[in-house]
Amino acid sequence: NIGASNTDWPTFFGVSVWALWKDRNNLVFSRETELGNHLTSKVVNMAYQIEKEIKCPLASRDENISKRNIHWRRPPVGFVTINTDGSYKNGYSACGGLIRDHRGHFVKGFLRNLGTGNALLAELCGILFGCQMARDMCLTHVILETDSTHVVNMINNRFTSIFYLQPLLHEVISLIHLPSWTIHVNHIHREANSCANALAFKGHDVGFTHVLLDSIPAYISTLLDKDLRGACSSIVVS
């Protein structure tokens, strides 16, 4: 078990066998093979995405299906909200996030190209960098939002069986539980996390550096305005 919890081990095992067989065929017929760490990262990401799709409710599975309107919510007065997200594309990962005040106004943002990695690594790095940015700004009342239930569960349970994520998770947990601030970690739907998603995706286009944003970048201005107006997106729920 090189990084799968008990609940997703069958999926992880199946994907691992498929990936190894595919890599073996590439080596035999094309003289090409992937490095071990990169292949492991690819398997973890594929298994995570499959589990995510399996757990996603489909209209055909349940007759009691309804639609729900989702929108980003402003934090209470005195709080700020940090929205973070990770992005995975073609074996490479990136992350991004932003801070908004109780009026829904942009305060600061960031994006970062992480190089090779996977979706979970990107999500967790986004949370870490978002928290570090808030600490550097001496913010004391924070709501942190991410659309990854897997990462929220890891933080709340203070545990992950994915060995290479353990030091990063420990750093996030240590930062969150510092006594000098109040921070709540919440899950939100992807539809309410569009600004952070756009920043994370943009992170693929920058060099391997940490980019801080003191003003609103043009590529999220429309999304910010949508959140500010409380515009809703409909999702199907059971």
pTM reported for the whole predicted model:
0.75
- What 3-state class would DSSP assign to 94? strand
Q: What is the DSSP string of 118-177?
A: -HHHHHHHHHHHHHHHHHHTT--EEEEEES-HHHHHHHHHT--S-GGGHHHHHHHHHHHT
* Res 237: pLDDT: 63
* Res 161: pLDDT: 87
Handedness of CA 108, 94, 75, 192 (dihedral sign): positive
Q: Which residue has the tokens 């921070």?
A: 183
**Domains of the chain and CATH, by start:** 6-56 (no CATH), 70-237 (3.30.420.10)
Q: Which helix (H) or strand (E) holds 225?
A: helix 218-229
- Give the pair of three-digit tokens for residue 157: 């349970």
* Res 14: pLDDT: 83
* Res 63: pLDDT: 56
* Res 6: pLDDT: 45
**pLDDT below 70 — which residues of the chain?**
1-7, 30, 35-38, 54-65, 237-238
* Res 78: pLDDT: 96
* Res 32: pLDDT: 73
d(CA 195, CA 97): 8
* Res 55: pLDDT: 65
